[in-house]
Amino acid sequence: MSLDVEQLGLDRTMDALRKLLAERFGMTNGNGDLPAGDPIFALGSGLSSLEGIEFLCEVEKLFGVHFSDLDWWVYEAPTLANVAQYVIELSRKQHPAPAQPPTAAR
């Protein structure tokens, strides 16, 4: 079962991404937290390109989304906040909320 980013919101989506990065890739800043604005692929402290692809696959599974624009992932040097916002946008596009039935006039 994937996480619902609509229910999580931006901050808790970033928390879920931080947890994934810490548990799967050992990424923390020493305080157990990654700043939202730091590039995920930063030299010396970030993911390698192979780990980045693994992270992308894990994010797809965790949130039930599919990244079709890999250029964004590879060339934009995403930050934690960028990834969280992008996942929210993808989820809205790929899993739109069910339409509400029209209300009857009284």
How much of the chain exceeds pLDDT 70, in percent? Answer: 83
pLDDT tens digits, one per residue of 25-76: 888 765 657 788 888 886 556 788 888 889 999 999 999 999 887 777 777 7
Please indicate, yes or no, if residue 13 is contained in any of the structural domains: yes
Structural domains in the chain (count): 1
> Would you state the pLDDT for residue 34?
78
The whole-angstrom separation of Cα 95 and Cα 27 is: 30
Answer yes or no: are the C-beta atoms of 17 and 84 closer than 8 Å: yes
- Which H helix or E strand runs over 13? helix 5-25
CATH for 52: 1.10.1200
- Domain holding 66, by residue range, is 5-94
